Amino acid sequence: MEKHSKLAGRTVMITGASGGLGAHFAELCAGAGAAVVLGARRLDRLENLAAAIRDRGGRALAVPLDVAEEASVTAAFDAAEAQFGPVDSVIANAGIERSGRATEISVEDFDAVYAVNVRGAFLVAREAARRLRAAGRTEDGRIVMISSITAEICVPGLMPYSVSKAAVSHMTRMLAREWARRGPNVNALAPGYMPSDLNAEWFASEAGRQQLDLFPRRRLADFTMLDEPLLFLLSNASAQVTGSVIKLDDGQTL
């Protein structure tokens, strides 16, 4: 874990931190000097990650978190405050995908995607903003939503996920405008296709390999592409940046 101090003094809550991008972000923020609060439903994975961060001299707390449930979000913030004080930064990373053509996707799958990807991002951002106001620390607040390039392009079979990410992008702008005078900065990263549990099976298939061949660089993007933009948005250097949705896709949509 590379150590530097860009986020020294900050407490960052990362949702969906049990694997993939979320776990990567946790390691990144801890290495940058932040206390990290790791939230997800798979507590065993979180505990292992938190222990590994602490073994390297970082500060980490694992909390059970179902972002779609308001009571769970409140409890996670309560636990974070008890350990580290107010949470001043949030990475709203939790997300799920349900594939299928629009004529075939079930209402249950559609609702499940929206519950996590949209309602979950809103509940976490809102709780952070409320508590920052109560603590008189809104100018310090940083919320980073994780959107996707699928918010801008049409991918057959990914309708619920893509539309949910479009909602996340616009939620970013709406919250940034509403909280511009008395609230945290709200921005979003919109990554391109990266290796993840959600797409591993697809890109191992013949159709997935054909999609890769259509990308200008014929590859999936790497997690580390997001590191510096994320650290900037969470740091004091981004005091005058709010309402931005930053596309980072390794040229996949060119």
Q: What is the mean pLDDT of the chain?
A: 94
Contact 42, 74 (CB under 8 A): no
> What pTM value is reported for the model?
0.93
What token pair was written down for 239? Answer: 């005091």
DSSP strand E in the chain: where? 11-15, 35-40, 59-64, 89-92, 142-146, 185-191, 245-248
Is the pLDDT confidence value at 2 over 60?
Answer: no
Residue 205 has a pLDDT of 87
User: Of all helices (H) and strands (E), which one includes residue 49?
Assistant: helix 43-55
Distance between CA 159 and CA 150 in Å, rounded? 9
100: left (phi over 0), alpha (psi -120 to 50) or beta: left
Residue 3 has a pLDDT of 60
Of the residues 114, 161, 193, 215, only one is catalytic, namely 161
Average pLDDT over residues 213-242: 94
* Every domain of the chain and the residues it spans: 11-248
pLDDT in tens, 140-174: 999 999 999 999 998 888 899 999 999 999 999 99
pLDDT in tens, 47-65: 999 999 999 999 999 999 9
Question: What's the sign of the alpha-carbon dihedral 20, 234, 95, 132?
Answer: positive
Residue 127 has a pLDDT of 98
Give the model's confidence band at 72: pLDDT under 50 very low, under 70 low, under 90 confident, else very high: very high
**CATH (residue range 11-248):** 3.40.50.720
Could you give the percent of the chain with pLDDT greater than 90?
79
Higher per-residue confidence, 133 vs 156: 133
Give the model's confidence band at 4: pLDDT under 50 very low, under 70 low, under 90 confident, else very high: low
* Closest residue by Cα to residue 37 from 127, 169, 156, 100: 127
3-state percent helix, strand, coil for the chain, nearest multiple of 5: 50, 15, 35
pLDDT in tens, 166-215: 999 999 999 999 999 999 999 999 999 888 777 778 788 888 888 888 88
Contact 128, 77 (CB under 8 A): yes
| Residue 193 is a catalytic residue | no
Residue 70 has a pLDDT of 98
pLDDT in tens, 13-36: 999 999 999 999 999 999 999 999
